[in-house]
Amino acid sequence: MNTPHDCSGEAAAYVLGALEPAEAEAFRRHLKECAICRDEVEALEGVVQALPMSAPQHPLPRRLRRRVIRAVRAEQAPGQPRRSAGMSWAGSRPALAALAMAAVIALVIGVSVSGSGSKGRLIHAQVTGITGSAQLQVSGGHGELIVHHLSPPPSGHVYEVWLKTAKANPVPANVLFGVNASGSAEVRLPPSLRGISQVMVTPEPNGGSAAPTHTPVITAQLS
């Protein structure tokens, strides 16, 4: 890296969750030593979290997102080899700019297309005791929990989702999940969230628990 600013272009791909697992891990190590990249990641995360609130929400097909990411990654200059996780982040800005634009296009498609005509909403969940962010996307009574840069569960544990009504204790949603190398996951919830006041997540021993054994690390308030 020729100057302290040469590495900052990778922050966009990291925030969008578009890096390969090895690349994300290498960039996380780099963040510990680079204040410029930490500042840029913090600023970009604010933008990424604000964009979905700018229009009514509708589910974005996962296949569409994957196609967009693959198309951008395939856009290389003639004769330019694809960079590996061990290569410098310098010189990657043109591709990253295209990636950011593709993400915005995908977002616009996602918020503009309605599969059923029903209105959806995006709920910003509270994350406690761990790092990361979480959002609950609800449409037509169905929900999907989306997390970014979330700390992995402790060794021997998995994240478990709980559903709570206003006058009852939490019950298992029968949904267990982990996160990928960048701390991201898209978790489909049970068929209906009607009548549910809170969606919570706790770390539980592998296989799950019948009742929460840990204070919730994610809480989404529906009502």
Position 9 confidence tier, pLDDT thresholds 50, 70, 90: low
Residues 109-157 have pLDDT tens digits of: 444 443 444 457 899 999 999 999 999 998 887 899 999 999 999 999 9
At residue 77 the predicted structure's pLDDT band, cuts being 50, 70 and 90, is very low
Say which residue, 48 or 106, is predicted with more confidence. Answer: 48
Per-domain residue ranges of the chain? 10-112, 120-221
If you write DSSP's letter for every residue of 118-151 in order, what string do you get?
--EEEEEPEE-SS--EEEEEEETTEEEEEEESPP
Q: Which residues pair with 199 in a beta bridge?
A: 163, 220
The reply to whether CATH 2.60.40 applies to domain 120-221 is yes
Residues counted in the chain = 223
Q: Which two tokens stand for residue 151?
A: 């700390």
Sign of CA dihedral 128, 130, 135, 138: negative
